[in-house]
Structure 1
Amino acid sequence: MKILFVGKINLDYNRVRVLINGLKKREDVEVRSYEFKKRSSFDKAHFLELEKDVDYIYVPPFRHQDIKLIKKYTSKPIIFDPLISKFMTKVIDYGHFWKAPIKYWLDFIPFHRADILLTDTLLHKKYFSKTFFISEDKIKVLPIGVDTTDFNHKKVLKFRDNVFKVGFYGSFIPLQGVDVIIDSAILLKDVKDIKFELIGDGVFYEKIKSKIAKHKLTNVLLKGWVKYEELNIEIAKYDICLGIFGKSFKTDIVIPNKVWHYAAMGKCIITKDTPGIKEVFTDNKNIVLIPNTAKALAETIFYLKSDFDKIDSVGVKAAEVIQTKYTEEHIADIFINAIK
């Protein structure tokens, strides 16, 4: 089988990295790619040369606007992997309701023009189907999974010392619920041996930074962005890793990249109790699920600090989930079986 990846392809983006690396490990699949930065630089002749004998064309996440252009020049089945709904993100998540009509059509049109639509969870599939009037048969669930050459529990060294480290990485957007994390740090500010480290930035970064300064929090360190290849080193240092705690609908139906990475590295994860997360993980077995409140998070962190046996047990079982079902090889298998 020959698959052509087309569009503004960020090979470092987790979804694409996992899928391509998994496919490249199969002897029955050839992966090709054609990247163009903008539609005006699209080389029709070069594209036609690449696509003439492929079986499928894959359009990577966030490239909604590329579907129309690619569809114009090929009759090959197009697999679109949007990962997000622009309508859900901007209108529901951010509350930009005045953008509703345009954002809806920016999803609706490419979703219908694609031959196969991918989603990361079953709940996301149901949302796409119901909201955009798409047959569920057309939508295939492909979990995010993990590239275990980068994130692997076997590479983790124990870094435990006298400080109990609680780690998070992500963008400071509504989905993440970073404000809940900071509020829990406020509740725990007098517990001297608990420290929070937050990697990333985003629209709420300055607001979070101001809140830390206002409450004179010495137990929170904002580290800014860290290179992808250094993320595993940072995660390895944490005793507990934090997922997402947002209040939006999107929070309830996705499993973010960070949770996959934490699990692959055998870390005990605390995250919001959602139906989406339960499609893969089980509370108090391979993850710790809580209400998305600062009080619940602070209490859970404080409790786990005195129970390293549970921390280790949950982490080991989280890694087992990845190793048995969600490595890059597993994701490639699911992908091939879904599109055949």
Structure 2
Amino acid sequence: MKTKRPLTICVFGSYDEKVLSTALLLSGLSLYDQGHKIVYVHEKLPSGAVYDASHLALLHIYQRTINRLKSLVKLTLRIPDILQCDVLVILPFGLFDLVLAAPYKYLLRKKVIYIPQNSLYHLLVYAYKNHLNRQRKIFIHLIYLIERFLFHIPNLVVFNTKAEVKYYTKLFNLPNLHTAVVPLGADDSIFIPSARKITNETFEILFYGEYNLTHGVDIIVGTAILLRKHKNIHFTFIGEGRTKQKIVSMVRRRKLKNISFIGWLKPQELVKHIHKADVVLGMFNNDEALNRLIPNKVYQGLACAKCVITGSSAAVKEVLRHKKDIYLVKPSSPKSLAQGILNLKRNKHLRDKLKQNGYKTYVKNFSRKPTVEKLLSEIERLFTK
């Protein structure tokens, strides 16, 4: 049963519009509001949001805490805008915006929806896992308790995968957490199929993203080493990150001629390289992040009607089928990835099937229209009896 009237939905907090997941949600709501009124109550943090482990040095955290308090004061002055709203939507990395949203829920009966992108506690554990001392352990445990408490505030928490729901409810011991699953998708105003046919002299394999352990760039290099005798297979790496210099040094030391490096590109330039690729790579390191998340590049590759290979995980297998929509390989295995690349290179029929089925699945389930409609449907459900 749908709500009897259009809702006024407040996109609330100190979110960063440059964060991909936030940008997708903002643009999607503006395009497909389903007759609801969207209001934006926003104060951006001067130092940016916390969405990467490198942002978690203790001094930086203290500085951001002061900036967060200033932002909360400014948001408090927007009370008239908030009062007209039925529901407050807290976007990714807005964990502490829940503090200000709480009075509106408990005193004014406003509904609150939270869309987390990552756990601050998890980011801290990842950042300091090899450098833990007593002070940091106490601080991380305090963050855990705060984050667990704040997760009690929303009427609804929206995750990207069922595996994420399982992870968060177990991590914070919240068996009664009210959740919904809405896939992230891609910006399909940029990531679209190309009408041009591929005319590469070599079989082009594309990796793009941040150089870190989760993406498994070292595993991809290991694959390139195994395939170095296949002169017609070439890898292109696009991006930057903490481990890039280490990766470049490894490639030079091994004298690999089948890998090229390019720095960060704007999405409009990046998509040109995706169009030229025969295969787009996802994530390959065997850790819990891979198991609960679907990488942005997987959605983007599917949106461009490309053959996508990624490490097998619970999250991916929820919504995509091996050798039907996507090609899955054993995580942390250069040999498995190398075999997958060779199988696709030798089997044009399989490549064409993956491109066609993957794109159809993307349009049906992960493009902005169905994902935003799913989110709004979950919001409407909060107002039905």
- Do both proteins adopt the same fold according to a TM-score greater than 0.5, normalized to the shorter chain? yes
Shift of 1:265: 0.9
Contact 1:48 1:73 in 2 (8 A): no
Contact 1:88 1:250 in 2 (8 A): no
Partner AA of 2:171 in structure 1: T
1:318 matched to 2:352: no
Q: What does residue 54 of structure 1 align with?
A: 85
Q: TM-score scaled by structure 1? A: 0.92
Root-mean-square deviation (CA, aligned residues, Å) is 2.1
After TM superposition, list the pairs within 5 Å mapping 1:23-62 onto structure 2. 23-24=29-30, 25-36=32-43, 37=45, 38-39=67-68, 40-41=70-71, 42-44=73-75, 46-62=77-93
Match of 2:363, SS state, is helix
State how far apart, in whole Å, the 1-side matches of 2:128 and 2:305 are.
Answer: 33
State how far apart, in whole Å, the 1-side matches of 2:125 and 2:115 are.
Answer: 20
State how far apart, in whole Å, the 1-side matches of 2:29 and 2:126 are.
Answer: 34
Partner AA of 2:302 in structure 1: A
Aligned-pair identity (%): 27
252-261 vs 194-203, greater mean Cα deviation: 194-203
The correspondence for 1:17, drawn from 12, 19, 23, is: 23
Shift of 1:137: 5.0
Task: Tell me the alpha carbon deviations over residues 57-104 of structure 1, each in whole angstroms, 9 at most, x when there is no partner.
Answer: 112112222221343566422211111122334426873565441442
89-98 vs 34-43, greater mean Cα deviation: 89-98
Q: What does residue 96 of structure 2 align with?
A: 65
After TM superposition, list the pairs within 5 Å mapping 1:225-264 onto structure 2. 225-264=264-303
Structure exhibiting the larger radius of gyration computed from Cα positions: 2
Unaligned segments of structure 1, at least 5 residues: none
Q: What does residue 8 of structure 1 align with?
A: 14
State how far apart, in whole Å, the 2-side matches of 1:90 and 1:243 are.
Answer: 24
Q: TM-score scaled by structure 2? A: 0.82
State how far apart, in whole Å, the 1-side matches of 2:42 and 2:195 are.
Answer: 35
Q: Mark the CA change 1:125 to 1:93 in structure 2 (over 3 Å): closer, same or farther.
A: farther
Q: In the comparison of the two structures, how many residue pairs are matched?
A: 339
Q: Mark the CA change 1:11 to 1:229 in structure 2 (over 3 Å): closer, same or farther.
A: farther
1:82 matched to 2:116: yes
Contact 2:42 2:75 in 1 (8 A): no
After TM superposition, list the pairs within 5 Å mapping 1:160-175 onto structure 2. 160-175=199-214
Shift of 1:262: 0.5
Q: Mark the CA change 1:216 to 1:102 in structure 2 (over 3 Å): closer, same or farther.
A: farther
Q: Mark the CA change 1:29 to 1:301 in structure 2 (over 3 Å): closer, same or farther.
A: same
State how far apart, in whole Å, the 2-side matches of 1:261 and 1:246 are.
Answer: 19
Match of 1:67, SS state, is helix
Q: What does residue 149 of structure 1 align with?
A: 189
Task: Tell me the alpha carbon deviations over residues 223-247 of structure 1, each in whole angstroms, 9 at most, x when there is no partner.
Answer: 1211133332221111001110012
Q: Mark the CA change 1:204 to 1:321 in structure 2 (over 3 Å): closer, same or farther.
A: same
Shift of 1:156: 4.6
